[in-house]
Structure 1
Amino acid sequence: MNEFINFISQPWPWYVAGPVIALVMFSLLLLGNSFGISANLRTMCSIFGAGKTCEFFDFNWRSQIWNLIFAGGLIIGGLIAHVYLTPSQEVHISQATINDLHALGVEDPGSSLVPESIFNWESLFSVRGFIMLVVGGFLIGFGTRYAGGCTSGHAISGLSDLQLPSLIAVVGFFIGGLLMTHLVLPHLLTL
């Protein structure tokens, strides 16, 4: 039993997690569904009556209940993994990355999932924090709507369905991520 607990409490290798994701996507394709987390926001807005004032939210939300249940399962699974299967909160990153983050002014990188010196209530009221959290959040929301889906919808579901718009969106995500990491983020961290 201890060996099983040790096995499931470790990150799963790609050759286990990849086929599981492929099996889920194959099942969704067979059922005629496409997966995407951002679609749940539209569904929830429709449930609460936003379709009365905005045509975008006026659709049969009952057909999307499966996606809400799937998202709920993701949240519950993440909670179980965090509470019961995570041996430590330390994030394992290379020493070179730690040195680079220290040079950019990030305090204690790798001690938690996100740097607490950046993502906290006090930094929200600074110029750097406002740009990263509020402006960044707005741009992510806008980009998700403009691209017709989020990274999970395009990169996992859209690519497995061989959709050209998803391929274009994923290429754009990677280019934007690289530009942000190498050109914008170093300037934001020094504000």
Structure 2
Amino acid sequence: MEWIIKPWPWYVSGPLIALVMFALLFAGKQFGMSSNLRTACSMGGAGRASDFFKFDWKKERWNLIVVLGAVIGGFLSANYFSGNTVEINPEVSKQLESYGITSAGEAYMPTEIFGTESLSDPKILAILLVGGFFVGFGARYAGGCTSGHAISGLSNLQLPSLIAVIGFFIGGLIMINFIYPLIF
């Protein structure tokens, strides 16, 4: 049973993702995480404040299972599989250490940023809040999040998704090479 908690190789996970995408395409559904935020807001009555949230959210509630799975998977991973480490490039580890992040390769997420004790640091809290806002705004502005565009949009051969994915990569390169060193 240990095979299930280890990272799966690309030649297993890739075809499984393709199989799921084919099943969704066959069923006339589209996958994406950010669309669940719209569904949750609509469920909460946000349609009274904005026409954007006026739609039949009951047709989209199937996608909320993805969020539930992510929450349950995150909980299980953090509480029961935290003994696993991630193998990263030694040069990346050295560069992260120069920023003060010494837990690289020891945990899935650096405890210096994501540990509960870090939430008392105003700088880290500000970075997480501003970053969360940018991710949420960017996902809505781009018409979907990275998983929606890169997996579902590209599977459906949508040109806007290709443009968005290229933008995600360019933004990521700019962030990690220019902005990240300034922050840390």
Same fold (TM over 0.5): yes
Residue 59 of structure 2 corresponds to residue 53 of structure 1: no
* 2:100 corresponding residue in structure 1: 105
User: What CA RMSD, in Å, does the superposition of the two structures yield over aligned residues?
Assistant: 2.1
In the aligned structure 2, how far is the partner of 1:78 from the partner of 1:19? 23
Deviation at 1:134, TM superposition (A): 1.4
- Structure 2, unmatched stretches of 5+, are none
TM-score, structure 1 as length reference: 0.86
* 1:44 corresponding residue in structure 2: 40
Deviation at 1:68, TM superposition (A): 1.0
Structure with greater Cα Rg: 1
In the aligned structure 2, how far is the partner of 1:74 from the partner of 1:184? 28
In the aligned structure 1, how far is the partner of 2:39 from the partner of 2:102? 39
TM-score, structure 2 as length reference: 0.89
In the aligned structure 2, how far is the partner of 1:62 from the partner of 1:26? 22
Residue 86 of structure 2 corresponds to residue 70 of structure 1: no
Q: In structure 2, do the counterparts of structure 1 residues 70 and 187 end up closer, same or farther at CA, with 3 Å as the change threshold?
A: closer
Query: Which amino acid in 1 is paired with 2:171?
Result: G
In the aligned structure 1, how far is the partner of 2:158 from the partner of 2:125? 36
Maintained 8 Å contact 1:9/1:87: no
In the aligned structure 2, how far is the partner of 1:37 from the partner of 1:108? 28
In the aligned structure 1, how far is the partner of 2:113 from the partner of 2:130? 14
Deviations 1:44-90 (A, max 9, x none): 11111110111111110011011112332343345456656x37242
Q: How does 1:108-119 map to 2 (within 5 A)?
A: 108-119=103-114
Residue 20 of structure 2 corresponds to residue 24 of structure 1: yes
List structure 1 segments (4+ residues) > 6 angstroms apart after TM superposition.
none
Please state whether the residue corresponding to 1:117 is helix, strand or coil.
helix
Residue 128 of structure 2 corresponds to residue 133 of structure 1: yes
Q: In structure 2, do the counterparts of structure 1 residues 135 and 76 end up closer, same or farther at CA, with 3 Å as the change threshold?
A: closer
Maintained 8 Å contact 2:82/2:107: no
Query: Which amino acid in 2 is paired with 1:14?
Result: W
- Structure 1, unmatched stretches of 5+, are none
Maintained 8 Å contact 1:50/1:57: yes
